[in-house]
Amino acid sequence: MAARERVFGAIGKSVKAVAKSRGSEWWYTPHMAAAARAIEERIPLVDLILEVRDARIPLSSEYLQLRKIPSACRIIVLNKADLADRSQTKEWLRFFEKQKCMAFGVNSHNRDNIREFLTFLQARVRELKKKDDRAHVITLMLVGIPNVGKSALANSLHQVGRISAAEKGRLKHSVVTPQPGETKSISSLKIASHPNIFVLDTPSVLPPDVIDDEVCSKLAVTGAIKDSVAGEINLAEYFLSILNLGEEYKKWAKLSSSEAGVALTGDGSLSLGKKQKKKYPTDHTQDFIVNNVRRTLFDSVSSFGGCTEDGEDLARLIQGEFEVLQKVFHLPLETKECNYSRVAIKLLNLYRTGRLGHYTLDHVPCN
């Protein structure tokens, strides 16, 4: 952990400086404060609260305003489970179960997984109806910090629920973007019939007080805070520190270190024969580029002669990785700062879409 303190400090300092400045446009803004009050007012009126967290940071993405709410009144939803370490997610679910908190891991883009989650919710609703037979309409409320996927989850539940109930009519949609804090108002979506179940999608809210450097870093690298606040290069350095100190890169040992028979075509794309599609070296999302990134990172870490647990050595390794990734991403010859920024943006995109492995940054407490 000591080797990451330098990166934590850089990100935390940047986040705190902006958060504490007057007129901050993203940390507990007047809009967030109003949303927090609106959510608090609705809590006594809903039947169940779905607290959506990021499965990669189950603790750091906690919606702190719910700490006083009884666990029987809420379900912790670990969204983006497809991006987290699967074994770690299972451990977190067991941890919440021991804490007497209902929890469910979900990938909001997997329809089968959404069906399972909807079945789970309907079973919980049936328990609620036993206590109150008069309840003909059940209301659930999604709450959470920015970019944990509340709107995507609401849309998927709405779509799958409507299909399951064989209902017709125009589907409603909550706004979904990769940018945090885009939901501006509370919207209602129907997700089931018999009984009717509605889910309220609410605006994202960060805690009023700035938290410690490590939590800030985890929120920033997973996209809960806008990249421009902490800086893309700082965030990419943090991700590389995670990768270099972990075990995920070892899975890439058997990847081919070179692309045999690669040839450039007239338009600057790559061709490997008549039957294969053109490959564009500037598109970092293409499989052959992703594999080259994986292999390059594996070679960099496995051949490194220093100690990755030492802060200075780790910084030297990360510097070298930035250097070689410029070539892998086929970046033009420009200033080092400009190219490092481009490397960082591409690297963060691959990490956040799961192309560079699955990482859970919060570890289950020992006690």
Looking at residue 211, its pLDDT comes to 73
Sequential DSSP letters for 16-85: HHHHHSTT-SSSS-HHHHHHHHHHHHHGGGSSEEEEEEETTSTTTT--GGGTTS-GGGEEEEEE-GGGS-
Instruction: Write the pLDDT tens digit of every residue in 125-179.
Output: 988 877 666 557 899 999 999 999 999 999 999 989 876 655 555 545 555 445 5
Instruction: Write the pLDDT tens digit of every residue in 46-75.
Output: 999 999 999 999 999 999 989 888 887 899
Instruction: Write the pLDDT tens digit of every residue in 25-35.
Output: 667 677 888 88
Dist CA 50 CA 278 (whole Å):
45
* Residue predicted with more confidence, 225 or 85: 85
Contact 288, 277 (CB under 8 A): no
